[in-house]
Chain A
Amino acid sequence: MLAWIDSSWLAEFMRAYQWAFPISEAIHFVGLVILMGSVVVMDLRLLGFARGLPVRVVHTLLPWAWVGFTINLITGTMFFATLPTFYYPNMSLRIKLVLLLLAGLNALWFQLTVSKDIDNWPDDVDVPGQVKLIAGTSLALWISIICFGRFIMYWPPI
């Protein structure tokens, strides 16, 4: 599997153009900003910050999280293809991927249990504790995901 990735056209592309990696890193940061912007605004509002902002309004900004996520899925795959034998056993990347999975499940939980109620909430609603738990978990997970992303290059610590 790793050998196949290592000899894929994407891997060859990444290695043929020495600027492909740094530029995709910069784009990965742009994706991070787009994702983080909508996550921070949504989660902090749910946690009770900026109560003047109706939740259904912030909810309309949430699709941007998908834009950022898609950009980072693509650029992240590009990194992996460049050096699969470095990334595959990397413990920091593995932790990051587990946290990503948890963030996905957390978002799914929100989607299945809460999102249908949003339109019925009053503008300045103080959301139920369960929703605050989801929002706090989401924020903590995404911040950790950024941290473990940065640790990849330093794992194991030198």
Chain B
Amino acid sequence: MQLLFWLENSSLGDWIRTSSWAYPWVNAFHSVGMGILVGIVLMIALRILGFGRFPIAPLGKFLLIARFAFGLNLITGFVLFAGDAQHFFTSPTFIVKMVFVVAGGITAIKLTGMAFRGGSGWSGTDEAPQPVRVMAAVSLACWFTAIFAGRMTAYLP
């Protein structure tokens, strides 16, 4: 808790709380990162779930962009957190969001192994086997839940 208090009163915490443009801009970049990250996961998942029947391998290039967007949101998210650290740390809604971000990340990594690194024995050219489909659906559900919970942090304790 002392650490959170320190973070909140650090120059970073002060900046995001008091600057008139810092919060809107950091918030905007957090939304852009969200759109890119989850958007790419969604496009990969749509292919796996059968919307489109093309070889999946070249889509793997976009994982790099997705990782970059995740990094952007880790940074922007931390800055937003710093502005109200003690509140966020104890907010059940925020904790739910964090749990689903972690779950989304883990399932996305598992999905990468299954769909792009041959982990499931799938060639990536025809219909995806059921375990790959399930992993894609679960990962997508985690990310959308994280987004939902994230928005609710503004309204729920």
Closest CB of chain B to A28's CB: distance in Å?
Answer: 9
For residue B20, CB closer than 8 A to chain A, the reply is yes
Contact present for B35 and A33 (CB under 8 Å): yes
For residue A101, CB closer than 8 A to chain B, the reply is no
For residue A91, CB closer than 8 A to chain B, the reply is no
Closest CB of chain B to A38's CB: distance in Å?
Answer: 7
Interface residues of A (CB under 8 A from B): 22, 25-26, 29-30, 32-41, 44, 49-54, 57, 60-61, 64, 143, 146-147, 149-151, 153-154, 157-158
Contacts of B24 in A (CB 8 A): 150-151, 153-154, 157
Interface centre among B21, B34, B43, B57 (most CB of A within 10 A): B43
Contacts of A143 in B (CB 8 A): 32
- Considering only CB atoms, which chain A residue lies closest to B144 in the complex? A30
For residue B135, CB closer than 8 A to chain A, the reply is no
Q: Which residues of B (129-154) have their CB < 8 Å from a CB of A?
A: 144, 147-148, 151-152, 154
Closest CB of chain A to B143's CB: distance in Å?
Answer: 8
Please pick, from A36, A51, A61, the residue contacting B46 in the complex, using a CB distance under 8 A.
A61
Q: Which residues of B (26-42) have their CB < 8 Å from a CB of A?
A: 27-29, 31-32, 34-36, 38-42
Question: A29 to B28, alpha carbons, bound, how many Å?
Answer: 12
Known contacts: A154-B23, A157-B21. The answer to whether A22 contacts B151 by CB under 8 A is: yes
Question: A49 to B52, alpha carbons, bound, how many Å?
Answer: 20
Please pick, from B28, B52, B62, B148, the residue contacting A44 in the complex, using a CB distance under 8 A.
B62
Contact present for A150 and B61 (CB under 8 Å): no
Chain A at the B interface: mostly helix, strand, loop or mixed?
helix
Interface residues of B (CB under 8 A from A): 20-21, 23-25, 27-29, 31-32, 34-36, 38-43, 46, 51-52, 54, 57-59, 61-62, 65, 144, 147-148, 151-152, 154-155
Please pick, from B29, B62, B151, the residue contacting A26 in the complex, using a CB distance under 8 A.
B151
Contact present for B148 and A34 (CB under 8 Å): no
Closest CB of chain B to A58's CB: distance in Å?
Answer: 9
Contact present for B147 and A37 (CB under 8 Å): no
Contact present for B46 and A146 (CB under 8 Å): no
Please pick, from B27, B43, B65, B151, the residue contacting A38 in the complex, using a CB distance under 8 A.
B43
Contact present for A150 and B39 (CB under 8 Å): no
Contact present for B54 and A57 (CB under 8 Å): yes
Some 7 contacts from A to B, beta carbons below 8 A apart, are A35-B39, A37-B42, A52-B57, A146-B32, A149-B31, A150-B24, A151-B24
